[in-house]
Amino acid sequence: MVWQPELDELRERERLARAMGGPEKVKRQHDGGRLTVRERIDRLLDEASFHEIGAIAGSAEYDGSGALCGFTPSNTVFGRGTIEGRPVVVVGDDFTVRGGSADATIHEKTVMAEQMANEFRLPVIRIIEGSGGGGSVKTIETKGRANLPGGVGGTDAFYYCTANLAVVPVVSLGLGSVAGLGAARLAASHYSVMTRSSAVFVAGPPVVARVGQVLGKQELGGWEIQTRCGAVDDAVDTEDEAFAAARRFLSYLPTSVQSLPPLTASDDDPVRRDDNLMSAVPRDRRKVYKTRPIVETLVDHGSFFEIGRNFGRSVITGLARLEGRPIAMLASDPYHYGGSWTADACNKLTRFVDLAQTFHLPVVYLMDCPGFMIGLEAEKAATIRHGVRAMAAVNQCNVPWCTIIMRNSFGVAGAVHQPAGRLSLRYAWPSAYWGSLPLEGGIEAAYRAEIDAAADPAAKLREIEHRLNRLRSPFRTAETFWVEEIIDPRDTRRLLCEFSRLAQPLLTPGSSSFPMRP
């Protein structure tokens, strides 16, 4: 065999690459409760489906005769594989080699991974640990110079990181300490998840200590901080749970904007009725209720996949299915601020509508919104600016939209319950209640003279409130066609399944008229 010596050298280099940072570094990774990058890739992808690219890239050492005597692989591993038979690109940081820092990074591998996903229209999954190929102060000494951030070729990787948001599904997993560029790559995703033992930050504790803040990793960038501020979507206990979340998220989405979300078989009765819906919304409007059980009742059994539960909590967002057709599910949560839109909720909604628009997902909105959050803190948070940005996102989207008004719809935020200027389907439950502003607090201003002149001002206030509430009946609004249909709540699933059937032929592959914003 003429080329056997070269093949032998290739296999030896591949063996050295698979050794990663060596037995001691691999043991340290395992002792920390973390898998190696190659173990992670094997658990994420379908069995034996990984095709690695650039495995033998790294730093080699040669003896005096030019023979290979040592090899340190690149701390980036990437290639193609499949998840449930669908092709994906996966790129992961190898923390056993220089902690994932720039000293052991071959920049071109990260760029090619993102570029491959972009050019071949394949979802990309980033497994991030360390700085994700970012900087290290030792780089100055090892390279003999300092790098200018974003210098020639330096922005290519992050250009594709953000450009891919408009083209293919992007999932990022934070599995360890994630800092700098790694944190930016984690945030530049359609869906991100971290393990609860991990930490994410722009700069780690040693750097932050230089500005006078002495904090541990969890205090600075633990899962509670990052999921509550919205930097990371979700947190799970184990790496296997993170892999499962990534696989499930991708199951609702097309491989790229050039195709449609995949349909699956469903044996859930589309006309199924649930009597519990009749009492889901209390008659007493001051009482809150749980929205998630309503969502679970209406969509296909077990299909609801919530995204970002800890952030912008007055709004619930997630993916689900109706008769096996993927949809984007948006719902109010009156347990938090009565369902009012806070600045965080508006940002969450904007990003979620962008996701639906990018990947051709019809939107279902279960609405109970008394308006924007009010008060000094709401004003300091520029709630109205974030609110009109959410309004723009809704009005710009062109995917089919269906709204179920469960209870409140008030003010400017209440007006954003469907895209303006085009048809959407809209149904109201008998519990629906709407207007320019809630009666509470408005009666005193509008009827001040009448109330002050009454012998019993409190009784007069109750009388006026009772009179106006009778006029607020949704049936009176329906007389003038301001709301098209008032329905029995038990018919909601049937109507939503019909909506998904009507929406399916309207979905068109192709790029969105506006890109997904991180």
Region 363-390: mean pLDDT is 95
What percentage of the chain reaches a pLDDT higher than 70? Answer: 91
What is the per-residue pLDDT for 61?
87
Q: What pLDDT does 138 receive? A: 61
Please write the tens of the pLDDT for every residue from 487-504.
Answer: 999 999 999 999 999 999
- The pLDDT, as a whole number, for residue 301 is 97
Contact 106, 98 (CB under 8 A): no
Express each pLDDT in 254-284 by its tens digit. Answer: 999 999 999 999 999 999 999 999 999 999 9
**CB contact at 8 A, 356 and 387:** no
Distant-in-sequence, close-in-space partners of 271: CB < 8 Å, separation ≥ 6: 493, 494, 497
Q: Is 453 exposed, middle or buried (0-12, 13-18, 19+ CB in 10 A)?
A: exposed
What's residue 482's pLDDT?
Answer: 76
Running DSSP on this structure, what letter comes out for residue 422?
S
Please state, in angstroms and rounded to a whole number, the distance separating the CA atoms of residues 491 and 502: 17
Between CA 261 and CA 251 the distance in angstroms is 8
Residue 152 scores a pLDDT above 80: no
pLDDT tens digits, 347-373: 999 999 999 999 999 999 999 999 999
Beta bridge partner(s), residue 425? 402
Q: How many angstroms separate the Cα of 384 from the Cα of each of 344, 374, 413, 484?
A: 11, 10, 9, 29
Q: Which among 235, 221, 150, 158 is positioned nearest to 189, based on CA atoms?
A: 158
Phi-psi region of 314 (alpha: psi -120 to 50; beta: other; left: phi over 0): alpha
What is the rounded CA–CA span in Å between residue 109 and residue 55?
10
pLDDT at 417: 92
One DSSP character per residue, 81-135 reads EEETTEEEEEEEE-TTTGGG-GGG--HHHHHHHHHHHHHHT--EEEEEEETSS--
Q: DSSP for 348-366?
A: HHHHHHHHHHHTT--EEEE
Give me the pLDDT at residue 63, please. Answer: 85
Q: Measuring CA to CA, which residue among 92, 95, 115, 113 is closest to residue 104?
A: 95
Question: How far does CA 480 lie from the centroid of its chain?
Answer: 39
pLDDT of residue 344: 97
- 394-405: pLDDT as tens digits: 999 999 999 999
pLDDT of 454: 80
- Residue 58 has, within 13 A of its CA and on its CB side, a CA count of 26
From residue 353, how far is each of 319, 322, 345 by CA, in Å? 12, 18, 12
Kindly provide the residue ranges of all beta strands, DSSP E only, lying in 385-467, ordered along the sequence: 401-410, 425-428, 433-435
The full set of domains in the chain, from first to last, is 4-251 (3.90.226.10), 275-432+483-506 (3.90.226.10), 438-472 (no CATH)
